[in-house]
């Protein structure tokens, strides 16, 4: 969604990173939030989408699903050293326990000589998390602990 509408923006916050991610629908807002999280860590324009991974997340509501989505991406970075620059949420479906998300993510292994290091993201937080859905689209506001 780069180029047309704004995908995300960094908001004012004293200690951590506060982000508002936008989308025409929930899936797109989740994708743009993931992009914003990785942009916090590096310049995502320099990350080649050469490796594909499948990511699943679950939650009892939209906020917990969103939290698990970003948490799964952080785990992917920590375990496989994978920086991601493209995200495709394939579906968000209702399940007995709540909601499940299936996505494909694309990136490449982190190389300190090639990838600019910004700040490390320690965790996703529920603090000030909001998912606002309206006729003009979806806005997700969230804070990353850095």
pLDDT digits (tens, 9 = 90+) for 71-116: 999 999 999 999 999 999 999 999 999 999 999 999 999 999 999 9
Question: C-alpha distances in angstroms, 61 versus 26, 41, 75?
Answer: 13, 27, 21
Asked whether the predicted pLDDT for residue 50 surpasses 60, the reply is: yes
The CATH code belonging to domain 8-145 is 3.55.10.10
Predicted pLDDT of residue 44: 97
Calpha distance 47→109 (Å, rounded): 9
Predicted pLDDT of residue 14: 65
Rounded average pLDDT over 6-27: 88
Boundaries of every domain in the chain: 8-145
Asked whether the predicted pLDDT for residue 3 surpasses 60, the reply is: no
Asked whether the predicted pLDDT for residue 12 surpasses 80, the reply is: no
């Amino acid at each position: 969604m780069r180029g047309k509408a704004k995908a995300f923006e960094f908001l004012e916050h004293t200690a951590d990173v506060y982000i508002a991610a936008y989308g025409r629908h929930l899936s797109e807002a989740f994708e743009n939030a993931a992009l914003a999280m990785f942009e916090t860590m590096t310049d995502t324009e320099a990350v080649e989408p050469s490796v594909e991974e499948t990511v699943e997340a679950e939650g009892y509501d939209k906020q917990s699903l969103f939290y698990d989505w970003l948490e799964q991406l952080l785990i992917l970075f920590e375990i496989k050293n994978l920086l991601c620059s493209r995200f495709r949420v394939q579906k968000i479906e209702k399940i007995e326990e709540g909601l499940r998300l299936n996505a494909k993510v694309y990136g490449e292994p982190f190389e300190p000589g090639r990838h600019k290091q910004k700040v490390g993201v320690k965790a996703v937080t529920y603090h000030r998390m909001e998912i606002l859905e309206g006729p003009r689209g979806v806005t997700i506001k969230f804070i990353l602990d850095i």
